[in-house]
Amino acid sequence: MGGSGDLYPGHPLVYLERTYLDTLQAHDMMPIILPPTVEKEWLVRYADQIDGLLLTGGGYLPLHEDPAKLPGLDGTGQERFRFEMALLDVVVPTGMPVMGICRGCQMINAFFGGSLVNLPAHGVVEHHQEKKKIPGHIPVHGLTVAPESRMADWLGSSEIRVNSFHRQAIERPGRGLTITARCTEDRVVEVVEAPDHPWLVGFQFHPEKMWRADPVWSNVFRSFREAACAYRRAR
């Protein structure tokens, strides 16, 4: 599984947070960090070597910045933004499974032409639990799931609780994307799926931080693996 590498500002470093690596390995998937590039030849070579793509979180918006002043996705990492847009342009038409988490979910939406909204500093829900130093395995708000969606199949329920580490969210879903879960309390978009794609899902929250505490989240990663295996067999 290819994971889009994050960049460490001011340092010659490309990395992927350990939580993503551990989660993939725990679900019998081999993670490969993909260094940023926009060269088509390299992007095609990346796609040839992987059976699934994970777009990770990152960007790390300042916790106490005025929401009105928060930059867009390209403003929090222009090189990474260009890389992931170019990578999606190569990968999506092939039908390769794609999972986006947090920023990765927003990148999927941007790729399909959707838009973002900055969340209020003091809303109904505190969507960045890091402010209160609440660990990621602890859920902080409800999630209402659409019936007859992948999410409903994975969870076996229309209601669950999830964590939250974001200051922006999807405002308008991109073309071909369907909203399949929202925050119960304030209706912020939390999950989008592409019904016409074999397996393309974006999570605004972080399932990779919750599966040890609540094994139901392993269903997400098992499904991701199964889709990747099917993609590999069909090549």
State the CATH number of the domain containing residue 103: 3.40.50.880
What pLDDT sits at residue 175? 97
The count of domains in the chain is 1
Asked whether residue 156 is domain-assigned, the answer is: no
Q: How far apart are CA 232 and CA 96, in angstroms?
A: 9
Angstrom distances, CA of residue 6 to CA of 29, 56, 173: 20, 8, 24
Per-residue confidence (pLDDT) for residue 163, from 0 to 100: 95
Tokens of 213: 């505490």
Q: Tokens representing 107?
A: 């990148």
Residue 138 in any domain: the answer is no
Please check whether residue 16 lies inside any domain of the structure: yes
Note whether 125 and 141 are within 8 A (CB).
yes
Average pLDDT of span 78-96 = 95
Query: Between these two residues, 58 and 189, which has the higher pLDDT value?
Result: 189
Structure tokens at 141: 């708000």
Domain extent at residue 68: 2-118+167-180+189-234
Tell me whether residue 219 is exposed, middle or buried, using C-beta atoms within 10 angstroms of its C-beta: 0 to 12, 13 to 18, 19 or more: middle
For the stretch 166-198, pLDDT in tens is 778 899 999 999 999 999 998 999 999 999 999
- Has residue 158 been placed in a domain? no
In 10 A of CB 94, how many CB atoms? 13
Element (H, E) at 32: strand 32-34
Residue 153 falls inside a structural domain = no
Which carries the bigger pLDDT value, residue 69 or residue 32?
A: 32
Please determine, for residue 15, whether its predicted confidence score (pLDDT) is greater than 80: yes
* pTM summary value: 0.91
Kindly state whether residue 21 falls inside one of the protein's structural domains. Answer: yes
Do residues 5 and 36 lie in contact, with contact meaning Cβ atoms separated by under 8 Å?
yes
Please check whether residue 132 lies inside any domain of the structure: no
State the pLDDT confidence band at 133, using cuts at 50, 70 and 90: confident
